[in-house]
Amino acid sequence: MRTKQETQHFSHHHALVPLEGEELNCYGCKTKIIEPFHGCISCDYFLHESCLKTPRFLRHPSHPQHSLTLIPTPTYSSRSFLCDACGCEGNSFSLSCAECDFDLDLYCAALPTALELREKHEHVVTLAFESPHSIICCDICGKNINPKSWIYYCESCDFGVHLVCAAQHKRESTKKNEKEKQKDTNVESSQRDETEEEKEDRERSGNEKQNKKAKAKDKNSKKKNGKEKKGKAAKVENFQRDDEPEEETAEDHGKSVSQEYQKMLMRDMENQLILQAMDNANDYIGYGSTKYYYY
Ligand SMILES: [Zn+2]
Ligand SMILES: [Zn+2]
Ligand SMILES: [Zn+2]
Ligand SMILES: [Zn+2]
Ligand SMILES: [Zn+2]
Ligand SMILES: [Zn+2]
């Protein structure tokens, strides 16, 4: 019998049960899972909630001409794929266009379209799916960026950084902010002295700060191991949960791209629900016979 919280995913033939507490690797994106998740203990098969909920078909702004299909195991003879965003080899979930041999890992597919790298650059950097020059050096680590890889870029300043460098910087500053915000919640806001940065922060985005404060409070009451998000997983989740209010401060073009993408995700989510219902009704068909669907 299936309990209410159990769920079925087309990539696995057993029901996935809610789990938490252990640090395990997600089968979908091969990064650590920290927050509560679903999995099959007998098969050591675990998925982030965000990976579990990735639509089976979606349109991604990096490949507007075709919809991408979620493939649990690469169908190439090498049993691996190269992510067109970061150039890394992957052997877990991918979002693929079979017609174009275009593949994204789940991490890159969920990257936010605009980011603030406050301590590194004064402007919002936007996700560029093509390198603006044939040779470009990362303005964070100083190393060359593969011209075929995506970058975070500020056009007016010709400032560009690796995806990983941006993510790492973002992670570090998010941690710092969370610490500050936890401090905030312990002090009466009317009495505390604001640092310059906090003041600026508040003026720029009062709403955002309040949201985050509420979140920080929420997190305080949760278990310690759930408090700190790390690694790629944190990044992916940040995009889906936390980055939305942040993008309100982004430049308009970044915002509209993002809204467009959100709309696309919503549309695909609807299709996904229908397909999921169909999957649940049918028996598992196995990895070997992964099918490509188009609509
Ligand atoms: Zn995952
Ligand atoms: Zn299983
Ligand atoms: Zn990638
Ligand atoms: Zn295509
Ligand atoms: Zn770099
Ligand atoms: Zn700039």
pLDDT the model gives residue 185: 66
Residue 155 within any structural domain of the chain: yes
Is 73 in the same domain as 177?
no
Residue 14 within any structural domain of the chain: yes
Q: Which ligand is nearest to the CA of 150?
A: 3
The CA distance from 118 to 245, in Å, is 16
Is 125 in the same domain as 21?
no
Q: Which of 13, 36, 53 is the last residue of a domain?
A: 53
List Cα–Cα distances, 206 to 112, 248, 253, 271, in angstroms: 21, 11, 22, 36
| Cut 0.85: pTM above it | no
pLDDT the model gives residue 263: 52
Residue 217 within any structural domain of the chain: no
Is 66 in the same domain as 116?
no
Is 69 in the same domain as 98?
yes
pLDDT the model gives residue 142: 96
Alpha carbon 74 to chain centroid, angstroms:
20
The CA distance from 110 to 243, in Å, is 11
The CA distance from 183 to 160, in Å, is 33
Is 168 in the same domain as 115?
yes
pLDDT the model gives residue 2: 53
DSSP E strands, 48-189: 57-58, 68-71, 81-82, 89-90, 94-97, 102-105, 114-116, 124-128, 136-137, 144-145, 151-154, 159-161
Residue 218 within any structural domain of the chain: no
Cα of 106 to ligand 4 centre, how many Å? Answer: 17
Residue 205 within any structural domain of the chain: no
Instruction: Provide the residue range defining the domain that includes 98.
Output: 54-109+258-282
Is 246 in the same domain as 138?
yes
Is 4 in the same domain as 29?
yes
Tokens of 153: 């870029």
Q: Which ligand is nearest to the CA of 158?
A: 6
In single-letter form, the type of residue at position 249 comes to T
Q: What is the DSSP string of 264-295?
A: HHHHHHHHHHHHHHHHHHSPP--GGG------
CATH number, domain at 12? 3.30.60
Cα of 186 to ligand 6 centre, how many Å? Answer: 35
Is 115 in the same domain as 163?
yes
pLDDT the model gives residue 68: 97
Tokens of 215: 């979140």
Is 23 in the same domain as 119?
no
The CA distance from 161 to 150, in Å, is 9
Is 231 in the same domain as 145?
yes
Query: How many domains does the structure of the chain reveal?
Result: 3
Residue 269 within any structural domain of the chain: yes
Cα of 231 to ligand 3 centre, how many Å? Answer: 14
Is 155 in the same domain as 104?
no
Cα of 104 to ligand 4 centre, how many Å? Answer: 12
Q: Is the distance from CB of 159 to CB of 151 less than 8 angstroms? A: no
Scanning the structure block, which residue is given the tokens 């056009």?
Answer: 155
Is 166 in the same domain as 47?
no
Cα of 60 to ligand 2 centre, how many Å? Answer: 30
Tokens of 236: 């992916």
- Relative orientation angle of helices 163-186 and 206-220, to the nearest 10 degrees: 80
- Which residues crowd ion ligand 6, with CB under 5 Å? 123, 154, 157
Closest CA to 81 of 130, 29, 44: 29
Name the stretches of the chain with pLDDT < 50.
188-258, 267-295
Residue 209 within any structural domain of the chain: no
Q: Is the distance from CB of 29 to CB of 51 less than 8 angstroms? A: yes
